[in-house]
Amino acid sequence: MEHGSIGRRMMDGAGLENHEVATPRDIAVATRRLDLALGALHVALARRLGVSQAELAAITHVGAAGELGPSELARRLDVTTGAVTALVDRLTERGHLVRQPHPGDRRRLQLHMTDHARDEVMRHVRPLSNDVDALAAGFSGPERAVIARFLEGLTAIVERHAERGGE
């Protein structure tokens, strides 16, 4: 079996045939291809939204968290607080983020994604989400449980390595 062929079949939506067995190497190759494809997706999405990749990352982090302080955003993006201030200034001017006082500490600020930004992101991401739903529907419930467990484990591994600087 040629390396990467399983990844191509999975990408086409056909999945693995019952008689095929994926090796750990096949999974590693498919994971790397997914990483590259997600990188290309982020570049395309940033371009469609008219923002830089760093700005898209900020929007994504704030949107996923629901609210985020500027210092926490700087930590997640691995930039200085000064850099994040300039980035947030640009995103608030364009209507993607808003600053609001922290409810428990008026000296602090919280960042929130605007409805406009959420609608714009969803407009571009919804077709992808629909395709993922259609792909997942082609697997049985137990297969989806294994896939979900694998993806959760993979996410935890990637997060752990990101925290350690890729080591």
Residues 27, 7: Cα–Cα separation, whole Å: 8
Q: Distance of CA 4 to CAs 11, 14, 73, 91, 160, Å?
A: 11, 14, 36, 39, 26
pLDDT in tens, the chain (167 residues): 444 444 444 444 444 444 478 899 999 999 999 999 999 999 999 999 999 999 999 999 999 999 999 999 999 999 999 999 999 999 999 999 999 998 888 888 999 999 999 999 999 999 999 999 999 999 999 999 999 999 999 999 998 998 887 66
Residues 45, 157: Cα–Cα separation, whole Å: 25
- How many CA atoms, within 13 angstroms, populate the side-chain half-sphere of residue 47? 6
